[in-house]
């Protein structure tokens, strides 16, 4: 019997993988329409529908009263906005390559503009990753046990499930990273022009899904060069030609990005916000551990926090040992996994070290690392399971990792991880406060328009919203909340008045009127987190 087949004689392995596949499907489709539709997903739909943030803000920030339904109309396809409008909208955010958004528009034209319909495209991409990762693992390790274990662990990995439920490009990016890696290995093994052409196609598609794929391609170039012992072999030349062709195909978008550099900087301001070194290291540690262990971070009581840190440390130790084991077993396979795993996070960490920014603190940018780590862990476990004197130990580790994944996904089943939704994570408690009042009126500055579009998904339709540029909003509040207005009429028609995420300048100006806005929602935050705020009007009769 071949050694790779012996893994399937170990009791419980096949049922465990089937169990993972079934659970993976359930976790991907569960509560798909109930989780927060956050601002980045709003941006996805706006672009696909042919709107820009600037145009929507200009249309809504007029001081007119709006209902949530009015805001939702901008988040669906309409005959008035054509494909050319969508392409023009893509160009206003050149930091995001356009392929995913074009495909999403086509998907919405078929299945509609509901949250389930929009997010189901990412679910499909995530499910297609599973056969893709099987193919990649078979080509890399030539080992059926490792390939199936990779599929099982990918199926229930919390971070891949989290991004499978989001209307953003990341599941498509993971799929194309897997396919570009597999086609590269096939081209290296069978040095035919057709195989190299297929690799070039996958590479180009990955470039047009995420510009970070350029870093992965650089890593693949080092892998090819090292495999060919840095000789100018036929494989090296063909890889260079294919890479050059893919870069030429990307030139129109690179040119657009270069022409729109200031726009890109404006759209990515959050990346340059300072963050302490301790916070960044903590986030890197967390970003590695959530491959298998992603539960709400608890800082108190200390005993639970200590347990979480211990478990996460165990997961990170397994990842590091898996990379070390792969290096001991096969230098060529180790180089491939490193070429996939390290280029993106390493480059972003270096940029942060130079600029004191937070480029490397977004877990979505660690997805290539998670792919490589998944391959390394599956190979480690499949090898160890074949050793009789160690088999029981690695069966226990496998069950432990699977158990962590199931626990994490069960806890997050009807919610979202904190890292995934950024400040929009607070939409639900903010909406609950607003919705439980009889005549809610929400006032907001124009800068919060996209946040309000996100919030509109969970607001009751009796809520009224008024959006204005900051100077006009300050003037309206000053006019409504004077001593004279309090003596003659109820300000703003007797509504329960809220200020949504007001700026410091607005709060300072309002404090000089007869209105006193008090915090209605102020969550506790972890390091580096951002949150939306809600303030409620309390009138003062002693002006």
Over range 109-122, report the average pLDDT. Answer: 97
Instruction: Determine contact, residues 126/160, Cβ cutoff 8 Å.
Output: yes
Over range 460-467, report the average pLDDT. Answer: 94
Per-residue pLDDT of 390-429, as tens digits, reads: 667 888 899 999 999 999 999 999 988 988 988 898 999 9
Per-residue pLDDT of 18-43, as tens digits, reads: 999 999 999 999 999 999 999 999 99
Ranking 90-104, 161-175, 383-397 by mean pLDDT, the lowest is 383-397
- Between 164 and 385, name the one with better pLDDT: 164
Over range 269-291, report the average pLDDT. Answer: 92
Of the chain, the percentage scoring pLDDT greater than 90 comes to: 74
pTM: 0.94
Over range 94-106, report the average pLDDT. Answer: 96
Q: Is the pLDDT of residue 214 over 50?
A: yes
Spatial distance between the Cα atoms of 487 and 300, rounded to a whole number of angstroms:
49
State the pLDDT at residue 86.
Answer: 95
Spatial distance between the Cα atoms of 452 and 46, rounded to a whole number of angstroms:
13
What DSSP state is assigned to residue 33?
Answer: T
Q: Is the pLDDT of residue 101 over 90?
A: yes
Question: Can the peptide bond before residue 281 be classed as cis, meaning omega within 30 degrees of 0?
Answer: no
Tokens 């599973």 label which residue? 130
**Averaged pLDDT of the chain:** 90
Tokens 């050793």 label which residue? 387
Question: In Å, what is the CA distance from 104 to each residue of 110, 171, 253?
Answer: 10, 12, 19
Q: How many helices (H) and strands (E) does the chain have?
A: 27, 6
State the pLDDT at residue 384.
Answer: 86
Q: Is the pLDDT of residue 6 over 70?
A: no
Instruction: Determine contact, residues 77/101, Cβ cutoff 8 Å.
Output: no
Q: What are phi and psi of 211, to 5 degrees?
A: -70, -15
- Between 529 and 496, name the one with better pLDDT: 496
Over range 154-168, report the average pLDDT. Answer: 97
Q: Is the pLDDT of residue 154 over 90?
A: yes
Over range 194-219, report the average pLDDT. Answer: 98
Q: Is the pLDDT of residue 489 over 60?
A: no
Tokens 């350029």 label which residue? 214
- CB-based contacts of 272-276 (< 8 A; 24+ apart in sequence): 272/355, 272/357, 272/358, 273/357, 273/358, 274/356, 274/357, 274/358, 275/356, 275/357, 275/358, 275/361, 275/527, 275/528, 276/527
For the residues of 53-77, what is the DSSP string, one character each?
HHHHHHHHTTS-EE-HHHHHGGGS-
State the pLDDT at residue 218.
Answer: 98
State the pLDDT at residue 531.
Answer: 84
Q: Is the pLDDT of residue 11 over 70?
A: no
Taken in order 452, 455, 457, 463, the sign of the CA dihedral is: negative
Per-residue pLDDT of 312-364, as tens digits, reads: 999 999 999 999 999 998 899 999 999 999 999 999 999 999 999 999 999 99
pLDDT band at 511 (very low <50, low <70, confident <90, very high): confident
Over range 236-245, report the average pLDDT. Answer: 98
State the pLDDT at residue 418.
Answer: 85
Over range 56-61, report the average pLDDT. Answer: 96
Instruction: Determine contact, residues 36/424, Cβ cutoff 8 Å.
Output: yes
State the pLDDT at residue 490.
Answer: 46
State the pLDDT at residue 529.
Answer: 74
Closest CA relative to residue 428, chosen from 344, 510, 507, 534: 534
Q: Is the pLDDT of residue 485 over 70?
A: no
Closest CA relative to residue 284, chosen from 212, 241, 344, 199: 344
Question: In Å, what is the CA distance from 254 to each residue of 52, 60, 95, 96?
Answer: 20, 33, 10, 11
Q: Show the tokens assigned to 264.
A: 């890109």
Ranking 124-133, 222-231, 504-513 by mean pLDDT, the lowest is 504-513
pLDDT band at 228 (very low <50, low <70, confident <90, very high): very high
Q: Is the pLDDT of residue 300 over 70?
A: yes
- Between 504 and 37, name the one with better pLDDT: 37
Per-residue pLDDT of 513-542, as tens digits, reads: 767 788 999 887 776 677 899 999 876 555
Q: In what order do the strands lie in the sheet with 65-66?
A: 65-66, 464-468, 440-445, 496-500, 534-539, 515-521
pLDDT band at 299 (very low <50, low <70, confident <90, very high): confident
């Amino acid at each position: 019997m071949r050694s790779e087949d012996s893994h399937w004689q170990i009791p419980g392995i096949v049922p465990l993988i089937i169990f993972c596949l079934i659970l993976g499907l359930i976790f991907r489709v569960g509560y798909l329409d109930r989780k927060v539709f956050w601002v980045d997903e709003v941006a996805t739909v706006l672009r696909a529908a042919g709107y820009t943030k600037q145009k929507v803000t200009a249309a809504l920030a007029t001081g007119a009263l709006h209902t949530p339904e009015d805001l939702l109309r901008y988040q669906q396809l309409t005959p008035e906005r054509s494909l050319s409008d969508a392409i023009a909208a893509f160009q206003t955010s050149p930091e995001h390559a356009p392929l995913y958004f074009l495909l999403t528009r086509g998907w919405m034209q078929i299945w509609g503009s509901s949250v389930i319909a929009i997010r189901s495209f990412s679910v499909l991409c995530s499910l297609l990753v599973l056969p893709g990762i099987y193919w990649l693992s078979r080509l890399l390790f030539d080992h059926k046990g490792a390939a199936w274990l990779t599929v099982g662990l990918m199926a229930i990995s919390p971070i891949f499930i989290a991004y499978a439920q989001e209307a953003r490009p990341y599941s498509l990016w993971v799929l194309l990273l897997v396919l570009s890696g597999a086609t590269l290995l096939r081209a290296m093994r069978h040095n035919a022009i057709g195989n190299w052409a297929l690799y070039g196609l996958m590479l180009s598609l990955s470039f047009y899904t995420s510009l970070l794929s350029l870093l992965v391609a650089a890593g693949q170039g080092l892998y090819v060069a090292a495999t060919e012992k840095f000789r100018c072999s036929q494989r090296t030349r063909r890889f260079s030609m294919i890479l050059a062709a893919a870069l030429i195909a990307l030139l129109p978008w690179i040119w657009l990005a270069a022409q729109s550099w200031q726009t890109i900087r404006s759209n990515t301001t959050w990346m340059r916000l300072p963050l302490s070194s301790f916070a960044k290291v903590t986030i890197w540690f967390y970003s590695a551990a959530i491959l298998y262990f992603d539960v709400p971070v608890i800082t108190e009581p200390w005993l639970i926090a200590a347990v979480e840190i211990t478990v996460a440390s165990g997961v990170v130790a397994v990842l590091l040992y898996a990379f070390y084991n792969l290096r001991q077993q096969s230098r060529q396979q180790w180089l491939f996994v490193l070429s996939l795993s390290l280029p993106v996070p390493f480059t972003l960490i270096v940029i942060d070290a130079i600029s004191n920014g937070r480029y490397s603190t977004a877990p979505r940018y660690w997805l290539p690392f998670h792919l490589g780590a998944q391959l390394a862990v599956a190979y480690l476990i499949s090898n160890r399971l074949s050793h009789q004197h160690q088999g029981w130990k690695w069966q226990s580790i496998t069950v432990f990792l699977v158990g962590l994944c199931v626990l994490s996904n069960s806890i997050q089943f009807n919610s979202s991880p904190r890292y995934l939704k950024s400040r929009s994570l607070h939409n639900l408690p903010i909406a609950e406060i607003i919705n439980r009042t009889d005549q809610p009126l929400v006032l907001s500055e124009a800068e919060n328009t996209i946040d309000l579009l996100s919030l509109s998904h969970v607001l009751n339709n009796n809520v009224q919203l008024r959006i204005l540029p900051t100077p006009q909003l300050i003037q309206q509040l000053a006019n409504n909340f004077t001593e004279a207005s309090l003596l003659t009429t109820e300000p703003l028609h007797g509504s329960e008045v809220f200020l949504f995420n007001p700026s410091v300048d607005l709060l300072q100006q309002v404090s000089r009127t007869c209105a006193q806005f008090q915090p209605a929602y102020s969550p506790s935050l972890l390091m580096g987190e951002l949150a939306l705020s809600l303030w409620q009007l309390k009138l003062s009769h002693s002006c």
